A and B are shown apart, each in its own frame.
Chain A
Amino acid sequence: AQSVAQPEDQVNVAEGNPLTVKCTYSVSGNPYLFWYVQYPNRGLQFLLKYITGDNLVKGSYGFEAEFNKSQTSFHLKKPSALVSDSALYFCAVRVPRGAGSYQLTFGKGTKLSVIP
């Protein structure tokens, strides 16, 4: 089965420090991977995706992610954390379901708290 795992329920980081939110994947074939962010009582906002090509993907709000095939990881990073980055972050993988249909399978989410 195609899946992603987020090993940390919570990550705390001081404002201005670099942040990393971890994601590992288990996929047969080439993975299509995504990061989304969710603020309280809001929907999911798309941050970035990896389809193919460069292993370092740049996304919205200064976030980037590094695709590592040998370690089956897709960690989300930002060089300098802001208090406003505090939110719930989800890693997801696209799963084919046949007949041209797909779905996203999500990790459990990681709560990021940026401390002033």
Chain B
Amino acid sequence: KAGVTQTPRYLIKTRGQQVTLSCSPISGHRSVSWYQQTPGQGLQFLFEYFSETQRNKGNFPGRFSGRQFSNSRSEMNVSTLELGDSALYLCASTTGQDYTEAFFGQGTRLTVV
């Protein structure tokens, strides 16, 4: 069965722009979580979506937002990009019941210049 698909794999954006990242979870999984990975801060939780609703949110500014569609695909949006938003963004797919197995996508490498 297909794994977690994230698109695009790489992005280069300019400060002040906005960006949208996409994540398609494993078939049958209803929860998508997003994480930011940077060399300085490591892996940090952004938010979780389950059945089209944000169920949980990490400590990030409101410039970071997301949504989930009825087919469980999720998008993450970052507005007014800052240099510090440069990171690898990972999404994790789970059934949504108990988070005992989270499968990650390959990530989207965002570079803000």
Contact = CB atoms under 8 A, between A and B. Distances in A.
A43 B105 contact: yes
Interface in B16-39: 33, 35
A25 interface: no
- Contact residue range for chain B? 20 to 34
Interface string B87-113: 010101000111111111111010000
Contacts of A94: 99-100
Interface string B34-62: 01000000110100101000011010000
A44 B56 contact: no
A106 B33 contact: no
Contacts of A71: none
Contacts of B101: 46, 49
Given A43-B107, A44-B90, A103 B42 contact: no
Interface in A7-65: 32, 34, 36, 41-46, 49, 51
B6 to A, nearest CB: 8
A84 interface: no
- What's the dominant secondary structure at chain B's contact region? strand
Contacts of B50: 100-101
30 contacts: A41-B88, A42-B106, A42-B107, A43-B104, A43-B105, A43-B107, A44-B90, A44-B92, A46-B103, A49-B100, A49-B101, A51-B100, A94-B99, A94-B100, A97-B48, A97-B55, A99-B55, A101-B48, A101-B55, A101-B56, A102-B56, A102-B99, A103-B45, A103-B99, A104-B45, A104-B102, A105-B45, A107-B42, A108-B42, A109-B43
Interface of B: 4, 6, 33, 35, 42-43, 45, 48, 50, 55-56, 58, 88, 90, 92, 96-107, 109
Given A100-B97, A103-B58, A109-B43, 16 more contacts: A32-B99, A36-B104, A43-B6, A43-B105, A43-B106, A44-B104, A46-B101, A46-B103, A90-B43, A94-B100, A103-B45, A104-B45, A104-B99, A104-B102, A106-B43, A107-B42
